[in-house]
Structures are given as structure tokens and as C-alpha cells.
Amino acid sequence: MIVKQLSIFVENKAGAIAHITELLGSNNINIRSLQIADSADFGILRLIVDDGNKALDLVKKEGYTAKLTDVISVVVPDKPNGLSDLLKILSDNNIEIDYLYVFLGKNNLGAQAILKSANINEVEAILLNNYY
């Protein structure tokens, strides 16, 4: 399913991520996943939250550069080749993945994969027809 991901450009310094997570939490925004890709001075903090528009407004008011992006969220079975099965379907359909991160799901229901690709609607259709 397509979900909104909040991407925030964050300075690579002590307390930066804590400040953002506290800001969101104190405004009743639940963080469902978090991933950071860093470089020497800055990083991109990627979050799935329960209210992307509210979170975007909050972090922008704090002076952060941020945007909402459509990504695919898909449950990956907790078994050997669970992720490989998903990736093979995408590969067989010539889908290129911009980035992917996976985290453990709730109640042992498998893992949750978040992926970004150039044509997110095509990816969703492929997965609906071949994976679910």
C-alpha cells in the first residue's frame, strides 16, 4: 500500500534526532518507522508517522527542510527468502528501487518493508497482482 513518508534534512550533530522525535511526540504524532542515511555533515531522516501533514508543518516551522513522499509499505513474511521473494517480483518486472528499509513488524506478523521507486503506482499494481 502507498503511504506518506516524511523526509527531513538534518544536521549531523548530537541531539538533532532527539529534538525531532520529541517535537513530534509532544504534538501527539506517533512514529511508526524511522531510518537515517547520513553523510559527514548532514543526513536524511525518513519517518513514517500517523499524521504526515501535521508533522511536515511542525518540522518546517522549526526551520527544517522537509517533504512528504509516497512510498510503498509491504509486509514481508518472517521466513527465509521472505524479502527475496518480494525483490524477485520487482526485478522480474524491471522495477528499480531507489531505496529500501525493513523493520520488524508487530506481534510476529513478519517484517515491514518500505521502498521507494520512480513509479510508485506501477509498483503497487505489480505487488497487488503478484505478491499479496
Q: What is the domain class of 71-130 according to CATH? A: alpha beta
28 phi-psi bin (left φ>0, alpha ψ -120 to 50, beta other): left
- Write the CB contacts of 95 (distance below 8 Å, at least 6 apart in sequence): 117, 119, 122, 123, 126
Q: Where are the domains of the chain?
A: 2-68, 71-130
Whether this model's pTM surpasses 0.85:
yes
Asked if CATH classification 3.30.2130.10 holds for the domain at 2-68, the reply, yes or no, is yes
**Confidence (pLDDT) at 107:** 65
Quote the Cα angle for 64-103-119, to 5°. Answer: 65
**Confidence (pLDDT) at 17:** 93
Is residue 81 within 8 Å of residue 42, measured between CB atoms? no
pLDDT in tens, the chain (132 residues): 999 999 999 988 899 999 999 999 999 999 999 999 877 788 999 999 999 999 999 999 999 999 999 999 999 988 889 899 999 999 999 999 999 999 886 666 778 899 999 999 999 999 999 987
**Confidence (pLDDT) at 108:** 66
